[in-house]
Amino acid sequence: MASLGFKQVIKRYGVGPAAVQVIHGVDAQIHDGEFIVMVGPSGCGKSTLLRMVAGLEDITGGEITIGERTVNGIEPAKRDIAMVFQNYALYPHMSVFDNMAYGLRIRRLPEAEVRARVEAAAKTLELSALLQRRPSQLSGGQRQRVAMGRAIVRQPQVFLFDEPLSNLDAKLRAQTRLEIQKLHRTLGITSLFVTHDQVEAMTLAQRMMVMNGGRMEQFATPEEVYRRP
């Protein structure tokens, strides 16, 4: 676990006269183990911020920190983050175990360590009995849990969620939301979760980052954000 800090973070896309600034100095300190939901209209810079934390975009100005460490310039694989995407496709020809193990094996972790991590994640996600199944033999909810398992086995300090529920039907969305909530209670990993959905924000967020036009307009609890005057 680690804190996640934004210090005067700026992002420009492009160079020279064609450059466009899309993030205008975001400042926020997210505590160890905190669950933050980021909301804001389309194009306000949510994905850009997540991608800068993940190292998928350069940080034009300012600083992003994970724990004590500045991540500016550090390659994505060394940032101790895991990202859960909208369409985290599982490999259909691999077992649940192999799906979860894949990323670790690519990084050449010893097989005993791979097994230990996959089994621990499976236990947390109640997938232990399903490790030899193929994705096609799982329910939608179980598949979602395997997708989360692939992120957990990385043992990240920070979880980044880029609208992971938005393509699911209502039932599976609710189910997966509860699963994420439970996971956070169990593991307490610092989380930054982007969504458009007010129910998700209300139920998941300890605090919310409300973005607008590349600026952070509010950083407050859901009660404060949704309080009607």
The site for ligand ADP (CB under 6 A) is made up of: 13, 20, 22, 40, 42-48, 54, 76-77, 81-83, 102-103, 106-107, 151
Q: Please, which residue, 1 or 174, has the CB nearer to ligand ADP? A: 1
Single-letter amino acid, residue 203:
T
Rounded least distance, CB 13 to ligand ADP, Å: 3
Chain residue at closest Cβ approach to ligand ADP: 103
Q: Under 8 Å CB-to-CB from 195, ≥6 apart: which residues?
A: 37, 38, 39, 161, 163, 165, 166, 201
Rounded least distance, CB 229 to ligand ADP, Å: 25
Rounded least distance, CB 106 to ligand ADP, Å: 4
Q: Please, which residue, 22 or 120, has the CB nearer to ligand ADP? A: 22
Q: Please, which residue, 22 or 220, has the CB nearer to ligand ADP? A: 22
Q: Please, which residue, 116 or 223, has the CB nearer to ligand ADP? A: 116
Q: Please, which residue, 94 or 138, has the CB nearer to ligand ADP? A: 94
Q: Please, which residue, 83 or 204, has the CB nearer to ligand ADP? A: 83
Rounded least distance, CB 225 to ligand ADP, Å: 17
Rounded least distance, CB 48 to ligand ADP, Å: 3
DSSP letter string, the chain: ---EEEEEEEEEESSGGG-EEEEEEEEEEE-TT-EEEEE--TTSSHHHHHHHHHTSS---EEEEEETTEE-TT--GGGS-EEEE-TT-PPPTTS-HHHHHHHHHHHTT--HHHHHHHHHHHHHHTT-GGGTTS-GGGS-HHHHHHHHHHHHHTT--SEEEEESTTTTS-HHHHHHHHHHHHHHHHHH--EEEEE-S-HHHHHHH-SEEEEEETTEEEEEE-HHHHH---
Rounded least distance, CB 8 to ligand ADP, Å: 18
